[in-house]
C-alpha cells in the first residue's frame, strides 16, 4: 500500500525560455518537478520547445488563496483526500506537520411533521 500524501495547489510548468516569465524563476529537473506536482499542467510555451523532451522546467506554483475546500471527483492513488475543485490541492499541510482544512457548516433545518 502506498503512503498517502497531501498535494500542493496545482502548478504550471514552463520551459526556461518561456516569454511570459521573462527569464524569472529557477529551473528544476522535469522529473523532480513531476514528482512534486504530478497534477501539474503545461504552459503553452511547451509548443516552442524544439524537442518532445524538456529536461528542465520552471515551476510556477499555484496559490491556494482564499477559498474553501470543495472536493472534486479526482483523487490520485497516493492523495490523502480528493483534489479541491478550485486549486487542485488537498488543503493539507504538505510538510505533514499539521493538517489544515476549512469547512463550511450548513445548519440543519428540522423536519416538520405533517398534520
Specify the pLDDT at position 114. 67
Angle subtended at Cα 108 by Cα 107 and Cα 110, rounded to the nearest 5 degrees: 135
**Exposure string over 39-58, b if 16+ CB within 10 A, otherwise e:** bbeebebeeeeeeeebeebb
The mean-pLDDT minimum among 33-42, 87-96, 101-110 falls in 101-110
Specify the pLDDT at position 54. 85
Summarised one tens digit per residue, pLDDT across range 19-63 is 888 767 888 899 999 888 888 888 888 888 777 778 999 998 877
Whether pLDDT at 97 is above 70: no
Residue whose C-alpha cell is 513531476: 34
Residue whose C-alpha cell is 482544512: 101
Amino acid at each position: 500500500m502506498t503512503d498517502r500524501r497531501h498535494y500542493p495547489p496545482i502548478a504550471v510548468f514552463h520551459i526556461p525560455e518561456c516569454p511570459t516569465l521573462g527569464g524569472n524563476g529557477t529551473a528544476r529537473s522535469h522529473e523532480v518537478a513531476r514528482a512534486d506536482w504530478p497534477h501539474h499542467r503545461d504552459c503553452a510555451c511547451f509548443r516552442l520547445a524544439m524537442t518532445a523532451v524538456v529536461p528542465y522546467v520552471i515551476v510556477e506554483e499555484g496559490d491556494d488563496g482564499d477559498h474553501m475546500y470543495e472536493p472534486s471527483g479526482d483523487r490520485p492513488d497516493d492523495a490523502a483526500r480528493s483534489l479541491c475543485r478550485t486549486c487542485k490541492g488537498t488543503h493539507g499541510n504538505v510538510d505533514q506537520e499539521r493538517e489544515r482544512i476549512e469547512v463550511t457548516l450548513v445548519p440543519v433545518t428540522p423536519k416538520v411533521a405533517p398534520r
